[in-house]
Amino acid sequence: MAHEALPQPARDYYAGGAADEITLRENVAAFQRTVLMPRVLVDVSRPEPGTTVLGERLTLPLLIAPTAFHRMAHPDGEMATARAAAAASIAMVASTIASCTLEEIAAQGPSPRWFQLYVHTDRSLTERLVRRAEAAGYTALALTVDAPRFGRRYADMRNHFTLPDGITVANLAEEGREKMDIVPGGSGLAQFIAKQFDASLNWSDFDWLRSITSLPILVKGVVRADDARKAVDHGAAGVIVSNHGGRQLDTAPATLDALPAIAEAIGHQAEVLMDGGVRRGTDILKALALGAKAVLVGRPIIWGLAAGGEAGVSRVLQLYREEFELSLILAGCASVADITRDLIRQRTS
């Protein structure tokens, strides 16, 4: 339904990945080759699907991932997504490059809300975004570190992707930084990002960010155990195992494949979350069994938004909730605390 509703440039932007889209496909395939080994004769009459992340109680171990430009999918944009999240008591991570301001998103309801942050070449702009997130009641920052430049997304290049009239990078428009040009032979968004985001970002910049805010910071875009370890050593409250939805470095590992080593490297010193390819309730169960505290979901939320606005997002969240609770029951788990590594086996053929 979403693909029928969306114009091709928007559809391709949301759906596409980098280069040959190998990582994009592998994110989903990794779940398909992972087998669940259910327990039996367990009392699962009263399943409890909730969990706690960063001290906040979540009714489901699922957050809405930071995705850009929801107004290309529906006129209400991120505000519709936020209302659906609030109604379902689901946490939402709002994007720096959203098409509604972080203040507009925060005004839509009381559910837990994090702010996804890109560090800009202008550090004062970065600091102002952090202050705005603090003032609007966001409870954590998800620092995205895997995009010093945007990956080579051929569909966007063919479409000369730029924002439709009337849609802006709303948070940056508030700062006078929203201009995006149409680029012959390329993507206007990629050129815009190359000018705005700081490719020199390193661990000392992470230390600077920690010094200017008391909000917990998660490092998003980690696929290596040694980087996850460094994040914890520098004071990160958590890491988000992510390859940017297969949109950055093609042939990077599927996030489910990268997850176990990272969870083992961190142990209980920080929270481990993951995104990429989570399409079913069983996928949530598999990610938790391999060490994640929760998952983040991006594209399915966009499809729901494009298909039916707020109601469409609500329906997607309802499906995840129903499927995850059923997966718990059928796997012999009364709660997320019962999800352990022995539930997992890799397919041998």
Say if residues 168 and 210 touch (Cβ distance below 8 Å).
Answer: no
Annotated binding site: 13, 66-68, 95, 116, 118, 144, 153, 220, 242, 244, 247, 275-279, 298-299
> What's the token pair of residue 265?
């490297």
Task: Output the known binding site for FMN.
Answer: 66-68, 95, 116, 144, 220, 242, 275-279, 298-299
Query: Rg of the Cα trace of the chain?
Result: 19
- Is residue 181 scored above 60 in pLDDT? no
pLDDT digits (tens, 9 = 90+) for 96-148: 999 999 999 999 998 899 999 999 888 999 999 999 999 999 999 999 999 98
Q: Which residue has the tokens 């939805």?
A: 245
Measured over the CA atoms of residue 184, residue 186, residue 191 and residue 193, the dihedral's sign is positive
pLDDT digits (tens, 9 = 90+) for 40-89: 999 999 999 999 999 999 999 999 999 999 999 999 999 999 999 999 99
pLDDT digits (tens, 9 = 90+) for 211-242: 999 999 999 999 999 999 999 999 999 999 99
The catalytically annotated residue of 3, 70, 244, 268 is 244
47: buried, middle or exposed (CB in 10 Å: 19+, 13-18, 0-12)? middle
Question: Does residue 70 carry a catalytic annotation?
Answer: no
Which has more pLDDT, 56 or 347? Answer: 56
Torsion of CA 142, 143, 146, 152, to 10 degrees: 80
Q: CA-CA distance, 323 to 189, in Å (whole number)? A: 36
Query: Which residues lie below 8 Å from residue 337, measured CB to CB, with a gap of 6+?
Result: none
Q: Which residue intervals of 36-76 are DSSP H helices?
A: none
* pLDDT value, residue 222: 98
Question: What is the rounded average pLDDT of the residues 252-281?
Answer: 97
Look at residue 186 and tell me whether its pLDDT is greater than 60.
no
Residue 273 clears pLDDT 70, i.e. is over it: yes
Provide the annotated binding site for glyoxylate. 13, 118, 153, 244, 247
Contact 220, 242 (CB under 8 A): yes
> Running DSSP on this structure, what letter comes out for residue 94?
E
Task: Determine the distance from the C-alpha atom of residue 282 to the mean position of all C-alpha atoms in its chain, rounded to a whole number.
Answer: 18
Tell me the domains of the chain and their CATH numbers.
Answer: 2-346 (3.20.20.70)
What pLDDT score was predicted for residue 195?
72
> pTM value?
0.94
pLDDT, averaged across the chain: 94
Q: What is the pLDDT of residue 294?
A: 98
Looking at the DSSP bridge assignments, the partners of residue 57 are 52
Output the six-digit token pair for 211. Answer: 């010094």
| Bridge partners, residue 114, by sequence | 93
Determine the pLDDT at residue 43. Answer: 98
